[in-house]
Amino acid sequence: MKIINVTNVTAAIIQQGDKILICRRAEGDSCSGLWEFPGGKQEENETLEECLIRECREELGLRIKIKDVYLKKSWRYGKKEMEFTFFNAEIIDGEVKMKVHQDIKWVMADELSNYIFCPADVEVAERLGQGNELSKV
């Protein structure tokens, strides 16, 4: 039996007022130019929550508080098996800074369909755009 190495990835659904934060991946990255919810890959010896807090601090200059899980899903990029956990989160400190992305926007949920998302983020964008509340799985 072949053992598949799974990469855990976290993403934050951050809402401020009626708007949701989305980020456009930098040129040269995988899925470059596509939109995503901010986050990143889990490092050794950190929880999923610690991963997302670190990624938002490193990539956006934000301190966030994680509320709950919005959606979990598996996705395969080529031969890479990835397990995504999308968390509802809120900003507790900091202003959004563009450190690694080529664009960052606050958009209304019903505007999400105007953006082309990374494949693993599409379902979340569609659910949010259809008015599915930011609630637990």
Determine, yes or no, domain membership for 98. yes
pLDDT tens sequence across 15-66: 999 999 999 998 887 788 899 999 999 999 999 999 999 999 999 999 999 9
Determine, yes or no, domain membership for 25. yes
What's the CA gap between 66 and 14, in Å, rounded? Answer: 9
Determine, yes or no, domain membership for 36. yes
Determine, yes or no, domain membership for 135. no
Domain count, the chain: 1
Q: What is the CATH number of the domain that holds 89?
A: 3.90.79.10
Determine, yes or no, domain membership for 89. yes
CA dihedral for 49, 136, 9, 11, sign (positive or negative):
negative
pLDDT tens sequence across 83-113: 999 999 999 999 999 999 999 999 999 999 9
Determine, yes or no, domain membership for 82. yes
Structural tokens at position 124: 């979340």
Determine, yes or no, domain membership for 136. no
Determine, yes or no, domain membership for 117. yes
Structural domain of 44: 6-129
Instruction: Tell me what pLDDT residue 110 has.
Output: 93
Structural tokens at position 62: 């934000």
pTM of the model: 0.89
